[in-house]
Amino acid sequence: METDRVNKTYRYSTNQFSNHNSFHYSLIIFFFLLMNKMILMLN
Protein backbone atom coordinates (compact mmCIF):
# COMPACT_ATOMS: atom_id res chain seq x y z
CA MET A 1 0.00 0.00 0.00
CA GLU A 2 2.67 2.45 1.04
CA THR A 3 5.01 1.55 -1.81
CA ASP A 4 2.16 1.98 -4.27
CA ARG A 5 1.64 5.53 -3.05
CA VAL A 6 5.36 6.23 -3.33
CA ASN A 7 5.40 4.85 -6.87
CA LYS A 8 2.53 7.11 -7.88
CA THR A 9 4.28 10.12 -6.40
CA TYR A 10 7.53 9.21 -8.11
CA ARG A 11 5.86 8.71 -11.47
CA TYR A 12 4.07 12.03 -11.09
CA SER A 13 7.24 13.93 -10.19
CA THR A 14 9.23 12.46 -13.08
CA ASN A 15 6.37 13.36 -15.39
CA GLN A 16 6.42 16.94 -14.12
CA PHE A 17 10.17 17.02 -14.53
CA SER A 18 10.09 15.92 -18.17
CA ASN A 19 7.35 18.43 -18.92
CA HIS A 20 9.44 21.14 -17.33
CA ASN A 21 12.47 20.03 -19.33
CA SER A 22 10.74 20.24 -22.70
CA PHE A 23 9.39 23.66 -21.76
CA HIS A 24 12.89 24.76 -20.80
CA TYR A 25 14.34 23.54 -24.10
CA SER A 26 11.68 25.29 -26.14
CA LEU A 27 12.49 28.52 -24.29
CA ILE A 28 16.18 28.13 -25.12
CA ILE A 29 15.37 27.51 -28.78
CA PHE A 30 13.06 30.51 -28.81
CA PHE A 31 15.74 32.81 -27.41
CA PHE A 32 18.29 31.37 -29.80
CA LEU A 33 16.09 32.17 -32.78
CA LEU A 34 15.40 35.61 -31.36
CA MET A 35 19.13 36.31 -31.04
CA ASN A 36 19.65 35.15 -34.61
CA LYS A 37 17.05 37.64 -35.81
CA MET A 38 18.69 40.45 -33.86
CA ILE A 39 22.14 39.64 -35.23
CA LEU A 40 20.79 39.52 -38.78
CA MET A 41 19.14 42.89 -38.29
CA LEU A 42 22.34 44.42 -36.94
CA ASN A 43 24.30 43.15 -39.91
Each residue's pLDDT tens digit, 2-38: 788 878 887 887 777 777 778 888 889 999 999 999 9
DSSP per position, 1-43: -HHHHHHHHHHHHHHHHHHHHHHHHHHHHHHHHHHHHHHHHH-
Task: Give me the domain span that covers residue 2.
Answer: 1-43
- Give the chain's domain count: 1
The pLDDT value given to residue 37 = 94
pTM higher than 0.75: no
Residue 3 neighbours by CB under 8 Å, 6+ apart: none
Confidence tier at 1 by pLDDT (50, 70, 90): low
The pLDDT value given to residue 15 = 78
